Amino acid sequence: MSSKEKKSVTILTESQLSSRAFKDEAYEFYKELRKSQPLYPLSLGALGKGWLISRYDDAIHLLKNEKLKKNYENVFTTKEKRPALLKNEESLTKHMLNSDPPDHNRLRTLVQKAFTHRMILQLEDKIQHIADSLLDKVQPNKLMNLVDDYAFPLPIIVISEMLGIPLEDRQKFRVWSQAIIDFSDVPERLQENDHLLGEFVEYLESLVRKKRREPAGDLISALIQAESEGTQLSTEELYSMIMLLIVAGHETTVNLITNMTYALMCHGDQFEKLRQQPDLMNSAIEEALRFHSPVELTTIRWTAEPFMLHGQEIKRKDVIIISLASANRDEKIFPNADIFDIERKNNRHIAFGHGNHFCLGAQLARLEAKIAISTLLRRCPNIQLKGEKEQIKWKGNFLMRALEELPLSF
C-alpha cells in the first residue's frame, strides 16, 4: 500500500486490515491517521459500518464508554436483523469478552481467582521448567524457529495444565485458535473456519463429558461445577469460557515473546543493554508490549447510543474498532514513539486493554515472557537472526500482530 494509495482510500475493509501488506506498513499508516483522520471509516461486510480509532486519548475514552457494548444483543432489538454469524459460532461467543455488565462481572468473577497475583507466582517454577525443557530440545542443533519451538508451546502447556486438558491436543488448539481470531469475509475461508469451529465445539463437548465423569482440581472442573449449580453459568457460557481461556491463554503470550525477541534482534544496542543489565527485564517487557503490541486491533464494540467524535456522528449500530498498536505509538503520549527504548519511563501503554475488559491474564503473560526471554538470553547468549531481516514476515491477521516464524541461530 503506497502513500498515494493510502491517500486515495476512503474506506478500509476487513480484508485490507487483515492483509500482510497492511501489517508491513501499518505503523506509517497509523501515524498519518493520528495526524489527520483519527476516526477512519471501515466497511465490515455483514457487520456493517465501522470506525477505526487511532489516538491514545480516544482509545482510553472509548474503552470505558458505556455507550459502546460488546454484546450485540444489548444494541439490536429482536425485530432488527442481527449480524450474520457462522453456523458454529454461537456456541463459542457467550464469554466475558463479548459481554457487558452485569453479565461480564459474573463471568469474570468465576475465573479471576485463578489469575490472582498469588496464584500466578505459584506457577513460576513450572514455567521455568517448561522453558528449560523446550530449550533442551533445540540447543544441540544451535537453531530454532522461536514461534514453533518455544513461544507457542510454552504458554499453551501452561494454560493446558491450568485448565486440565491434554497436552497432546495443543496443535489442534493452534489451528482452532486461528479460525476464531480470523475475521475473514472471504467465502471459502468462512466455510473452512466454520468447519474448524464445529470441530472445536465437538472437542469441547467431549472434554466436558469426560470432566463431568472425572472431575479434578483444575479450572474446567471448577467451571463445570458452577454450571451444574444452574445459576452462575449456562452450558453455552461454559463452552465459550473454556474456548476463551484456551485461545486468550496463549495467543497474546506467543506474540509477546516472539515480538519482543524480534525487537531485540533488530535493535542491537537495546539487546546488549538488556544482556548487561538483566534487571531491566520488566521495563523491557513493557516496552515490547508498547512497541509491537501483541493485540493490534480490539474486538468489535457496538454503538448503543449515538454520540459525536471529532465532528462526526457515531450512529447506533456502528462498529468501533480501536487500534491498540496505534494508540501505543501516539507521539503525544510517548516521546520518540517509534524508538524501541527498554528504559522508557512512564510507559502507559494499553497493550492489555483498559477498563472493564482489561486482560485477565496480563500478569501471567508478563511472567511467562519474563521467564522465557531471561532463560533464552542466559542459555543462548550469542543468539541472532538466521537469515536476512527482510525475510521475516508479519502474519496476515485482523486482531493480532504476529510473526509467521522467527528463525534464530546461537
Alpha-helix residue ranges (DSSP H) falling in 124-164: 124-138, 146, 153-163
**For 212-236, how does the pLDDT look when each residue is reduced to its tens digit (9 = 90+)?**
999 999 999 989 887 766 667 888 8
Cell of 369: 515472557
**Residue ranges making up the domain that contains 24:** 3-409
Q: What is the CATH number of the domain that holds 26?
A: 1.10.630.10
Global pTM value: 0.92
Look at residue 6 in the predicted model and tell me its pLDDT.
42
Tens digit of each residue's pLDDT (9 = 90 or more) over 234-253: 888 888 999 999 888 899 99
Average pLDDT over residues 294-322: 97
Residue 2 has pLDDT above 50, yes or no: no
CA distance linking residue 165 with residue 159, whole number of Å: 9
Structure confidence at residue 7 as a pLDDT band (50, 70, 90): very low
Residue 185 pLDDT exceeds 90? no
3-state secondary structure of 297: strand
Contact 289, 344 (CB under 8 A): no
| Other Cβ atoms within 10 Å of 239 Cβ, number | 24
pLDDT at position 89: 67
Residues of the chain above pLDDT 90, percent: 71
Site of grid cell 491436543: 169
**Looking at residue 177, what is its pLDDT?**
85
What Cα–Cα distance (Å) separates residue 348 from each residue in 337, 345, 359?
A: 12, 9, 15
Q: pLDDT tens digits for 158-184?
A: 999 999 998 888 888 888 888 887 766
What is residue 82's DSSP assignment?
A: P
- Structural domain count of the chain: 1
Average pLDDT estimate for 50-60: 98
Distance CA 171, CA 156 (A): 9
